[in-house]
Chain A
């Protein structure tokens, strides 16, 4: 059985607040940025201006390569809310080349042919509300 992910995945908008606005602003420009601690250099996730590694405030928003590998995934057959009519879709954690494992979706793929460890690259889906969702697609 071959099922492609929904041709048009829903793209619900996140709540953007002053702390995480630099992250979401970058997504609209097609850039995946990560907060790098100005004190200890740790690249943190989820995005915040506080560093949970060293306890200091202050980060630089650095450009990520936008590539990584699938740490784990689940094929959700029926979603809820905005995903109620999405059809089968892939919820995943992708381990970025910079280190952090981030929750996302794997898109533009045959859901029954992806595997843990597959290489993926970021794509952005505009929410229409000043943000775009960083999702990932297999690198062939």
Chain B
């Protein structure tokens, strides 16, 4: 079963700025929406479905629908943190397949650099909050918990994790919009200050203002557009939580969302030529690469080492825009930019230095929340039609 190919990504747009001192959050949402619609050759009046997550101001999608003047038949404000936007693409495909809508708009935007970014988890009366927040779980601390356990069980090293940053920075030198365009070495990463042992500063992603948007359309609409649309071949999503005190920090929800997406696409990891892998931290990439089936569980360290992720020569070309580690991680939510670079690769529009030759099949994967406690996870398999 499944609805492989029932929808196409017709428009994609990434905000060019990483620091935006002079705009409102709603304005940036509307700017990226306008960018993605223009890319598709469509306009605001064509949109009949709108998808957004917790970064959108207002109640669900209604506030931004008001701002942008959208006349809608369908809204979806599913919130799974940074993975939300990949979930939205899957849900948009479902709504399109069901005949509810023809043109879906998905936006992400925010300005975390314009307020003092507080990475401490908020103390709210969630059922688990009192048993976690009081112990000072910073975001980097929670990912460090996973890194430490992965190292303990599988012998993964800081040097292997550093290779992930090296690959990302190697790609970022070709992206004029990237926040950090300097190529770093394994030594640079290892010698950067410890943030939460065993994670160093260069194991962590950037914090950027900005955003991005995609436009998802029905096959009929795609046929009428001049722009090259990208086929959504498979979608999988899966929350992973603390499992009643049996939490296991050596794997992520990708272990479930990945196989679901591959099943729908009737493809396997071996078919994938390019992968956008969520990279809030280097350890996030390592665990997800294993969970998605690109290598055996526990062998991620060897897989990523020695340029394993560097495009186009590595074992698995990844995050050729520089990813969240070096290019852009708008509003601490890296899912949208994962879709955008996969679309560029499939259109043959990545930078020539990092373009995968004849890229026909790509994967985009997102995580949300924290791999140290509970997380969203979503995988898309995409193809050039």
**Number of residue pairs across A and B with beta carbons under 8 Å?**
133
Instruction: Tell yes or no: A74 within 8 A of B by CB.
Output: yes
In the docked arrangement, what's the CA distance between A42 and B127, Å?
19
In the docked arrangement, what's the CA distance between A22 and B81, Å?
32
Contact A103 B135, CB 8 Å, known A75-B194, A77-B196: yes
Q: Which residues of B contact A17 (CB under 8 A)?
A: 125
In contact, A73 and B145 (Cβ under 8 angstroms)? yes
In the docked arrangement, what's the CA distance between A93 and B197, Å?
15
Minimum C-beta distance from A91 to chain B (A): 5
Q: Which residues of A contact B219 (CB under 8 A)?
A: none
Minimum C-beta distance from B136 to chain A (A): 4
- In-complex Cβ contact of A80 among B118, B128, B129, B373 (8 A): B118
Q: Which residues of A contact B198 (CB under 8 A)?
A: 74
Instruction: Tell yes or no: A104 within 8 A of B by CB.
Output: yes
Stretch at the interface among B15-23, B242-250, B253-261: B242-250
In the docked arrangement, what's the CA distance between A79 and B245, Å?
25
In contact, A74 and B245 (Cβ under 8 angstroms)? no
In contact, A116 and B148 (Cβ under 8 angstroms)? yes
Minimum C-beta distance from A7 to chain B (A): 16
In contact, A52 and B244 (Cβ under 8 angstroms)? yes
Among residues of B, the one whose C-beta sits closest to the C-beta of A73 is: B148
Main secondary structure of the interface of B (DSSP, over half): mixed
Instruction: Tell yes or no: A92 within 8 A of B by CB.
Output: yes
Among residues of A, the one whose C-beta sits closest to the C-beta of B128 is: A46
Give the interface residue-count category, chain A: 35 or more
In the docked arrangement, what's the CA distance between A20 and B128, Å?
10
Main secondary structure of the interface of A (DSSP, over half): loop
In contact, B244 and A74 (Cβ under 8 angstroms)? no
In the docked arrangement, what's the CA distance between A79 and B135, Å?
10
In the docked arrangement, what's the CA distance between A73 and B141, Å?
9
In the docked arrangement, what's the CA distance between A135 and B134, Å?
11
Minimum C-beta distance from A108 to chain B (A): 15
Instruction: Tell yes or no: A119 within 8 A of B by CB.
Output: no
Encoded as 1 (CB less than 8 Å from any A CB) or 0, chain B from 143 to 154 comes to 011111100100
Residues of chain B having any CB pair with chain A under 8 Å: 118-120, 123-125, 127-138, 140-142, 144-149, 152, 193-199, 242, 244-247, 249, 373
* Supplied contacts A11-B134, A14-B130, 10 more A-B pairs, CB within 8 Å: A10-B136, A44-B244, A45-B242, A45-B245, A71-B149, A72-B145, A75-B196, A76-B141, A83-B120, A100-B245
Q: Name 20 A/B residue pairs within 8 A (Cβ), A-sorted.
A: A12-B123, A12-B133, A15-B129, A15-B130, A16-B130, A17-B125, A20-B127, A44-B244, A44-B245, A45-B131, A46-B132, A72-B249, A75-B194, A75-B197, A76-B138, A91-B137, A100-B244, A104-B135, A116-B148, A133-B134
